[in-house]
Amino acid sequence: MSSSLKTDLFFWLNKYNIKPNKDLGQCFLVDEKALNKIIAAADVHKSDKVLEVGPGTGILTEKLLQAGATVLAVEKDSRLVKILKARFGKEIKRKKLTLLSSDFLRLNFPDFLKKQRFAAGEYKVVANLPYQITSPVMERLLERSYLPALIVLTLQKEVAERICAKPGNLSSLAVLAQACARKCVLVSRFPKSRFYPQPEVDSALIKLEGLIYPDKIEVKKMRQIIHAGFARKRKKLKKNLSDAFNKNAVEKIWKKLDLPENIRAQELPIEKWVEIANTLSIIF
């Protein structure tokens, strides 16, 4: 833990008489090496436009701005918004930083990005996410036909490991993420001691790059098929899909792709998920 970053954090929290809100998952990363790993993973350049969800007191925001990025930061806690406005007044005036005092999950995605001239495929997402909003944030980023060029997130370690898991340990979120990303990498692990206040679990940094939708399928349809496949993890994948869609069609798909009868959702390779989705999406 960097003493200077922690001192800086305490300065701003004490100045505005703020105590971190556990209900909002407020645990601030105060480790210089960890922050540098995030910036390196995001490969931030002067021409980059970066969406940051949950900037908190602006510790990562400052690093992004120093790297030359134009940042759109969305912060739910109005108390922390006061800190961000005081801390980055010059950057806000220069329009290097746009600050939205809002709940990211209530914003109309991607309309608010379009208003800020963040074009699909040309912006990056770099954030230390509150643990409890990981899934809904990821789903918005991946499901709304407005993919970024890159996603770099600090998440709960177990969740990060699940997103980048191999067949056998896949989750529905892992299938969606890996179907849309050419590479899903767990870059680094951050011990809980590198945060203040210290959370109960460790964190990890993941990177999704080469983001592009699979051919011949709408992402929302693909997500519906994935959800159906994982509806009952103990059941066979074929049974789950047959219950949700046309049983005869699913039978034909299994024969066409020569899939094992007993395979379960978490065991199916990503490329087979895409093939199933491509074929099944035509039917409904």
Model pLDDT for residues 163-220, shown as the tens digit of each residue: 999 999 999 999 999 999 999 999 999 999 999 999 999 999 999 999 999 988 888 8
Give the separation between CA 212 and CA 223, rounded to whole angstroms.
Answer: 15
**Tens digit of pLDDT per residue, the chain (284 long)?**
566 999 999 999 999 999 999 888 899 999 999 999 999 999 999 999 999 999 999 999 999 999 999 999 999 999 999 999 999 999 999 999 999 999 999 999 999 999 999 999 999 999 999 989 999 999 999 999 999 999 999 999 999 999 999 999 999 999 999 999 999 999 999 999 999 999 999 999 999 999 999 988 888 889 999 999 999 988 999 999 999 998 999 999 999 999 999 999 999 999 999 999 998 877 65
What is the β-pairing status of strands 150-156 and 203-211? antiparallel
Give the separation between CA 173 and CA 48, rounded to whole angstroms.
Answer: 27
Q: Give the contacts of 243 (CB within 8 A, at least 6 positions apart).
A: 228, 231
Q: Report whether 147 contacts 120 (CB < 8 A).
A: yes
Give the separation between CA 189 and CA 41, rounded to whole angstroms.
Answer: 13
Give the separation between CA 184 and CA 188, rounded to whole angstroms.
Answer: 12
The domains of the chain, with CATH numbers, are 3-211 (3.40.50.150), 219-281 (1.10.8.100)
- For 19-65, the DSSP string reads ---GGGT--EE--HHHHHHHHHHHT--TT-EEEEE--TTSHHHHHHH
pLDDT digits over 238-250, tens only? 999 999 998 999 9
Q: Report whether 154 contacts 204 (CB < 8 A).
A: yes
Give the separation between CA 175 and CA 170, rounded to whole angstroms.
Answer: 7
Q: How many residues does the chain have?
A: 284
